[in-house]
Structure 1
Amino acid sequence: MRGKVLAAALAVAVLAGPAAADGVRDRLVVSTDWLAKRLGERELVILQVGDKAGYEAGHIPGARLLTLQDIAAPMGGERLTLEMPDAETLRGKLEALGISDRSRIVVVPTREGVQSATRVVFTLDAAGLGGRTVLLDGGTMAWSAEGRPLSKDEPAPAAGKLSAFKLKPLIVDADFVRKHISAPGYAIVDARAPDFYSGARPGGPPQKPHKAGHIAGAKSVPFSAVTTADLKLASPEDIAAKFKAAGVKKGDTVIAYCHVGQQATATLFAARTLGINALLYDGSFEEWSRLDGPVEK
C-alpha cells in the first residue's frame, strides 16, 4: 500500500507544473461548505447548469438557470454543435446572466453531469473570467445530500456590466490538430467513453453518424474517469495517473476533444487542476469526421 501511495504522489509530481504546487486546484474547485458561508454576497453569481424542470424542482438559493445553448453559437444547417460564440455575442449573454467585471461566479453541476458545468467554466475562462470562476464540487447532488436548503424561487433579473474582451486562445481548429498529432510537447487526448474511442460504437446522430474510431495518435482519458461516482472531482493522484497512462509528460500541452466539445472540457478541467496546459479542439470528432481526418481503431 505504501508503494502505491508513493507511486501516486510521484505521478502528480511528474505531471504537475509550478501552478499545481501553488494550489491551483483550490482556486478552481470549492466545497458546499465554502458556498453556504457566502450565500447572499453581493458579487456572487451562482449558475446552475441543467434543464428547467430540474431547476424548478429545487436549486441552491439565489442560483440562476443556465443551459449550454444560452452561451453557445446558434445551431442549424451545417453548423457544428455547441461552438463558442464570438466575443461580443458572448459578452451580451454573460451580462444577461448578471455577470459583471467584479462578479465571483460559482458554476453548479447537476445530475446532467459535470461535463455540462465544465463547458460553462471553460467558456468563462475563454472570456477572461477564469480567475473569478469556480466549480462547486459535487454540485446540487452534494448540496442536497448534506441536507442543505433548496429554493424554488427564481432570482429577479438583473443584468450585469462586463468590459469588452477578446477570447483567450484556448480553442484550436482541425488544422492545428493535424499539425500537432506527432509534435513534441503535445498530447492529443480523446475524452469520449472507451467504446467510442475503440471504434466499437460510432458517435453522432443515427442519420449522420461520425466515423468509428479516434483521431490518429490520440490517447484516451475519458471524461468520466476524472470524477467519482458522486460526480466530484477525482483525487489529484487519480487524475495524474490517468494522464500519465495516456503518455502525457511534464510540460506537455494537452489538446482534448470529444463528440462536440462538451465532455472534453471535463478532461481539460481536470488537467488544469494539475497545472497542465490544456486546449480544446472545439469542432471535435463531429468536425473531424466531416473533414475525413485520419482515424484509427
Structure 2
Amino acid sequence: MTDIVSAEWVADNVDRLRIVDVRDGWEYDAMAHLPGAVSVPFDSFRTGSSDSEGMLPSREEWGDLLSAAGVSADSELVAYDDHHGVFAARFLVTAELLGHDPAALHLLDGDFSSWQLEHPTSGETPAVEPTDYSVDPPETTPLVDSDTVAAAADDPDAVLVDTRDESEYAEGHIPGARLLDWRELVDDETRGLLAREDALAVLEAAGIVPEKRVVLYCNTARRISHTYVVLRHLGFETVEFYEGSLTEWEAQDRPLETER
C-alpha cells in the first residue's frame, strides 16, 4: 500500500528511487528541488477526459507523462510538493488507480520547505531516459460511485467523510457526512503527518475508526487523496474513494444538507 516515509529514509534510499516533484514547473526550476527529482507538475495530470473518471487523466495521457519522466512499471516512487503533501498524494493515488504497485508508492512526510531545512537541494535537472510506461489498471480499486456514497450514510458499518474545511461543509455537504478537514492530520510545525497516536485521536473524535468502512469525498478528489494515503498508512483496511466528489454529486442534482 502507499505509505508515508521520512526525509531521512528518502535520503538513505535515494539511489533506488524515482523522486517526483509535483510543484509548478517554475518552482522546480527557480527554487531548486530534491536531488535527482523529476518535474511532473500537478496540472499535467489533473486534466480529466472523456475516457476517464472525475479528474483522472486518460490512460494514454498518464502513460505518456510517466514515460517522459523516466518512470517504468517497476519504479519505486516518492512524491512531494510544498503544500503538506496534498498535491503529491494526488499523484500517488492516481498512480495506484491506474495500476502502479501501491507497495512502490511513497509520500514524503513533510514537503519541500521542511526538506530543505535539513537536507541538500539541487538546481540541476537530471538526465532522464524515457521509458515505455504501460498503464494497466487493476481489476478492483477503491473507487465508488454516487449510489454507494448515498447508501454509506445509512450504513452503521460505514462512515462518510467530508475532507473540506468547515465553511465549505457548512455551505452544503452530502447528507450524513462527518467533517474532517484534511489539514487536521497535518502538523503545522513539521509540515508532515501528526504523530501516530495524535492522528488516531483526531480521527476517533470524528467517528473515523479502523473497524468501519470509510468513504471519502471533497470537491474534486484532491484533498481526499491526502486523507486516503494517511488512513492507509495508519492501517485502515477499507477506505473508499469517491472520485466524482461534490462536483459529480451536484451535477447529478443530488441533495445537500447544511446543518451539522
Tell me how far apart the structure 1 counterparts of residues 79 and 230 of structure 2 sit (CA, whole Å).
15
Residue identity matched to 1:171 = L
| Distance change (3 Å), C-alpha of 1:290 and 1:258 | same
What corresponds to 1:227 in structure 2? 186
Within a 5 Å distance, the mapping from 1:1-297 to structure 2 comes to: 28-39=3-14, 41=15, 43-56=16-29, 57-74=31-48, 83-110=55-82, 112-126=83-97, 127-146=99-118, 148-167=119-138, 168-199=140-171, 213-229=172-188, 230-276=190-236, 277-297=238-258
Identity of matched residues, %: 28
User: Counterpart of 1:37 in 2: which secondary structure?
Assistant: helix
Q: Which runs of 4+ in 1 moved over 3 A?
A: 72-76, 79-82, 86-89, 161-164
Residue 232 of structure 1: CA displacement?
0.4
> Structure 2: which amino acid aligns with 1:187?
V
Answer whether contact 1:99 1:162 (CA < 8 A) is retained. Answer: yes
Match of 2:164, SS state, is: coil
Q: Which runs of 5+ in 1 are unaligned?
A: 1-23, 200-212
Q: Which SS does the other structure have where 1:107 is aligned?
A: strand
Amino acid corresponding to residue 296 of structure 1 in structure 2: E
Q: Specify whether residues 82 and 142 from structure 1 end up closer, same or farther in structure 2 by C-alpha distance, changes over 3 A only.
A: farther
How many correspondences in the alignment?
253
Q: Which amino acid aligns with 1:246?
A: A
- How far the C-alpha of 1:192 sits from its partner, in A, is 0.2
CA contact (8 A) 1:226 1:266 kept: no
Q: Secondary structure at the match of 2:67?
A: helix
Question: Take 2:201 and 2:88, find their aligned partners in 1: how far apart are those partners?
Answer: 23
Asked if the contact 1:80/1:283 (under 8 Å) is kept, the reply is: no
**Normalising by structure 2, what TM-score?**
0.88
Contact kept? 1:172, 1:279, Cα under 8 Å = yes
The 3 A distance-change label for structure 1 pair 55 and 89 is: closer
3-state DSSP of counterpart to 1:184: coil
The structure that has the greater radius of gyration is 1
Aligned mates of 1:216, 1:80 — CA distance in 2? 27
State the alpha-carbon separation in 1 of the partners of residues 41 and 177 from structure 2. 30
- 1:261 CA drift (Å): 0.6
Q: Distance in 1 between matches of 2:53 and 2:81?
A: 20
Cα distance per residue 1:89-109 (max 9 Å; x no partner): 433332222111221111112
Is the CA contact 1:49–1:116 (under 8 Å) kept in the aligned structure 2? yes
Does structure 2 retain, via aligned residues, the 8 Å contact 1:64–1:155? yes
Q: Deviations over 1:6-37 (max 9, x none)?
A: xxxxxxxxxxxxxxxxxx8xx71222222222
Aligned-pair distance for 1:59? 0.5
SS of residue paired to 2:79: strand
CA-based RMSD? 2.4
Q: Please, which runs of 5 or more residues in structure 2 have no aligned partner?
A: none
